[in-house]
Amino acid sequence: KNEVEQSPQNLTAQEGEFITINCSYSVGISALHWLQQHPGGGIVSLFMLSSGKKKHGRLIATINIQEKHSSLHITASHPRDSAVYICAVQPHRDDKIIFGKGTRLHILP
């Protein structure tokens, strides 16, 4: 079993829909990251979370440390949100990040 699991693996939605991507992990962590990767493009860091909730524009990230779970939400989704979203965790007392396999999001106009 992977230490970081993302769901769904692939998601196609219509423009304007509310999007939720989930990340579950099995190790104790000091922080969790959400990253965005556009097709053929590079990585953009969206959020780093250690507790609670963060918001940036139409993006919201939440984390529940006790349940070892985080969600990334996109409100009023737009075709430009189409990308791969990657969850990554920093385990306690280990400097090696563990990455999820990513969720491929496609927003249709």
Residues at the contact surface with another protein, assessed by CB under 8 A: 2, 4, 30-31, 33, 35, 37, 40-45, 48, 50, 86, 88, 90, 95-102
List of E strands, the chain: 4-7, 10-14, 19-25, 29-37, 43-49, 52-56, 59-64, 69-74, 83-91, 98-99, 103-108
Torsion of CA 36, 38, 42, 48, to 10 degrees: -10
* Nearest to another protein of 74, 86 (CB atom): 86
Q: What's the closest the beta carbon of residue 60 comes to another protein, in angstroms?
A: 20
* Nearest to another protein of 95, 109 (CB atom): 95
Q: What's the closest the beta carbon of residue 16 comes to another protein, in angstroms?
A: 29
Measured CA distances, 20 to 8, 13, 84, 91 (Å): 9, 11, 13, 24
* Nearest to another protein of 3, 17 (CB atom): 3
Q: What's the closest the beta carbon of residue 76 comes to another protein, in angstroms?
A: 26
* Nearest to another protein of 77, 103 (CB atom): 103
Instruction: Judge contact between 99 and 85, C-beta under 8 A.
Output: no
Q: What's the closest the beta carbon of residue 103 comes to another protein, in angstroms?
A: 12
